[in-house]
Structure 1
Amino acid sequence: MFYKKRRLFILMISLIIIVGLIGFSLRDRTNLTIFEDFIHDSVGWVQEVINKPITFTTGVVTNIKEIRNVYQENQHLKSSLDEIRQLEYENQELTKEIDELKELLDKTESDFLQNFDAIQASVIARSKDQWFKQITINKGTQHGVEPNMSVVTGKGMIGKVQSSSPFTSTVLLLNGFDRTNRISVNVYKDETETDSSGFIVGYDEETELLLLEMNDNNQELKAGQYVFSSGLGGVFPKGLEIGEVVDVEADRYELTSIAHVRPSADLTDLNHVIVIDRSMTTIDEQTEEDES
């Protein structure tokens, strides 16, 4: 009985102390007791210790998510850029092809080609052995293409048919010509002067210019004049534009003039061409025959 009263007394005293402490702590005070300071600092330190790893882990997880999102966005942007570049390239190629086809159409409808049978063809390959000197087109004997026919683009002459099979033909480009495949040409001056004549006899690989050997040492030949096929020799029709004279010099014996000619057509970038059938008689040839 005594022990029960003692425990009850101790419990009551404890409750009084606790209520007192609570009341004391709830008062408006500017200063805390040493015990309260200790408790407050201890709780704050424990919270800091617990919160730091939680905050760090949360930050790491957030950063990983952001990095993953950035990576996915970058991949999407790269894919979009690749598609844009592909579309730009295709657009450039289509624009270039359209321009080339327009030039061919204008050339085909010109008065000059109205006198010939113009066979339109597309380039399907380049020769492995002579990459820059030969091309293969998708027209052959079944389409009327025969060896030695002239081949042109909308800008000018590019070469001649070297060989022909039923459905394809090989074209020898101007930069593959030499003295065995020379072209008889005229250099146009103006309406008041007589054209000079000569032969395209080769190609300078270093300057990428055709070599024009004149029939004499023509002092009046100068840069800027245009070179056309003369029609002599029975292979190339008269009047095909070949190129422009860049410079002129005398040969080492000073017996004739050697000119460098820049081809009018781009021999390195060919997609569509026209094969000219010279077998049709031109108006000029018919007039010459009638006069003779």
Structure 2
Amino acid sequence: MPGFFNKKLIILLTSLILLVALIGFSLKERTKLSWPEQFVHDTVGWFQFVFNKPAQYAAGLFENIEEIRNVYKENKKLKAELRDYAELHAKYYDLKSKYENLEKQLHVDALSASKAHIAPVIGRSFDQWNQMIIVGKGSQSGIQKGMAVLTPEGFIGRVTSVSQFTSEVTLITDPSDNNQISAFVVTKGGKKYNGMIEGYDQNKHVLLLKKLPIDAKIKKGDFVMTSRLGGVFPDDLLIGKVVSVKPDPYGLTKVCEVEPAADFNNIDYVDIIEKTSLSPNGVDTP
């Protein structure tokens, strides 16, 4: 029995010595690993490489997906804000334009002796764009057939039909033969020549002022105004400016092409002027 324990003791001591030697050997700085260590290191490194790459790719993919989702949400939000800004911008300029038009119409100097009714334009058909508009005032507001209609820029037409709350206005750009308006040209030298607006050239966008004296000294840039001699409109409502002058086909009178002063594509509000008539002493009376 004592011999058995001695053997066990010897084996134990030997094992401890070997363990201590191995620990010391492993802790010792070495420039070269043993082949078992190299095998273990290479095997572990290869498995780390194989599994680490897909793991990094998957993690990066999920991060990219999350970033794309965040960018999409931010882009959607920015688009909504941009759309709201554009709508507000458009509304601002629309209100600004309407305000400026109303402000101008409250200061129409040519109407100081006449009563004007400001009315909104509520209708305009595409097929009659150059012929007629509908305004939001009628007989209940004192509107009558034949009243002159203008914008702050100038004369645009006359009331041709009246209902209780609305009225139709025939524009001076209506090319029909019965759309005739008494007018005159005033030159830069102060001369006046009476004529009639008869027709509209839709290709050139000019009014045709006819029946002017053949010897009239009219030049490009002279102003064309309404005349009270027709018994319908007051004097001096601006119609436009002369852009060309030529004799009529028979050489008896002159014809002027007149560029309208008003913008017929942008009519939001109009002034409707109460009718005046010419008294025997030459004074306008309502």
TM-score by length of 1: 0.87
Alignment-derived partner of residue 243 in structure 1: 240
CA distance in 1, matches of 2:229, 2:216: 23
1:183 is matched by which residue type in structure 2?
I
User: Does structure 1 conserve the Cα–Cα contact (< 8 Å) formed by 2:207 and 2:259?
Assistant: yes
Secondary structure, aligned partner of 2:159: strand
In structure 1, the partner of 2:182 is 184
Query: Displacement of 1:133 after TM fit?
Result: 2.0
- CA contact under 8 A between 2:212 and 2:255: conserved in structure 1? no
The answer to whether the 8 A contact 1:244-1:263 is kept is: yes
Where 1:30 maps in the other structure, the secondary structure is coil
- In the alignment, the residues of structure 1 paired with residue 38 and residue 175 of structure 2 have an alpha-carbon distance, to the nearest angstrom, of 103
RMSD across aligned C-alpha pairs, in angstroms?
Answer: 2.7
Q: How many angstroms apart in 2 are the aligned matches of 1:6 and 1:85?
A: 98
1:246-285 pair list within 5 angstroms:
246-279=243-276, 285=279
SS at match of 1:261: strand
Shift of 1:224: 0.5
Paired residues of 1:127 and 1:136 also in contact (CA < 8 A): no
Instruction: Provide the rounded CA distance (Å) in 2 between the counterparts of 1:169 and 1:158.
Output: 15
Residue 54 and residue 78 in structure 1: after superposition, are their counterparts in 2 closer, same or farther (change >3 A)? same
Pair 277,12 (structure 1): closer, same or farther in 2 beyond 3 Å: farther
- Alpha carbons 1:196, 1:214 under 8 Å: kept: no
Percent identity for Structure 1 against Structure 2? 41
Supply the distance in 2 between the matched residues of 1:181 and 1:270 (Cα, whole angstroms). 20
The secondary structure found in structure 2 opposite 1:139 is coil
Query: Within 2, Cα distance between the matches of 1:71 and 1:218?
Result: 75
- Cα distance, 1:250–1:22 mapped onto 2, change above 3 Å: farther
**By how many angstroms is 1:230 displaced?**
1.2
Partner in structure 2 of residue 54 of structure 1 = 55
Structure 2 counterpart of 1:258, one-letter code: V
Residue 221 (structure 1) aligned with residue 222 (structure 2): no
- 1:132, distance to aligned residue in structure 2 (A): 3.2
CA distance in structure 2 between the aligned counterparts of 1:164 and 1:56, rounded to whole angstroms:
78
SS of alignment partner, residue 282 of structure 2: helix
Contact persistence 2:175–2:201 (CA under 8 A):
no
One-letter amino acid of the structure 2 residue matched with residue 210 of structure 1: L
For residues 245 and 10 of structure 1, the distance between their equivalents in structure 2, rounded to whole angstroms, comes to 129
Equivalent positions of 1:1-292 (< 5 A) are: 19-107=20-108, 110=109, 112-190=110-188, 192-218=189-215, 220-279=217-276, 285=279, 287-288=281-282
Q: Distance in 2 between matches of 1:186 and 1:153?
A: 19
Letter in 1 for 2:40: I
Q: What CA distance in whole angstroms lies between the structure 1 residues aligned with 2:103 and 2:85?
A: 26
Q: Mark the runs of 5 or more structure 2 residues left unpaired by the alignment.
A: none
Supply the distance in 2 between the matched residues of 1:193 and 1:176 (Cα, whole angstroms): 30
Please give the alpha-carbon distance, in whole angstroms, between the structure 2 residues aligned to 1:203 and 1:233: 19
- State which drifts further: 213-222 or 130-139: 213-222
Q: What secondary structure sits across from 1:179 in the alignment?
A: coil
After superposition, the Cα gap between the structure-2 partners of 1:10 and 1:131, relative to the gap in structure 1 and judged at 3 Å, is farther
1:9-68, CA deviations, whole angstroms, 9 ceiling, x for partnerless residues? 989877765554443222111222222222111111111112112111110110001000
How much has 1:178 moved relative to structure 2? Answer: 3.6
User: Is the contact made by 1:223 and 1:244 (CA closer than 8 Å) also made in structure 2?
Assistant: yes
d(CA) in 2 for partners of 1:26, 1:91? 81
Cα 1:92–1:289 change in 2 (3 A) is closer
Deviation by residue 1:65-113 (Cα, 9 ceiling, x = unmatched) = 1000100111111111111111111111111111101110001xx3x42
**Partner Cα separation in structure 2 for residue 233 and residue 123 of structure 1:** 26
* 1:114–1:286 distance in 2 versus 1, CA, 3 Å: farther
TM-score, L = length of structure 2? 0.89
CA distance in 2, matches of 1:88, 1:98: 15
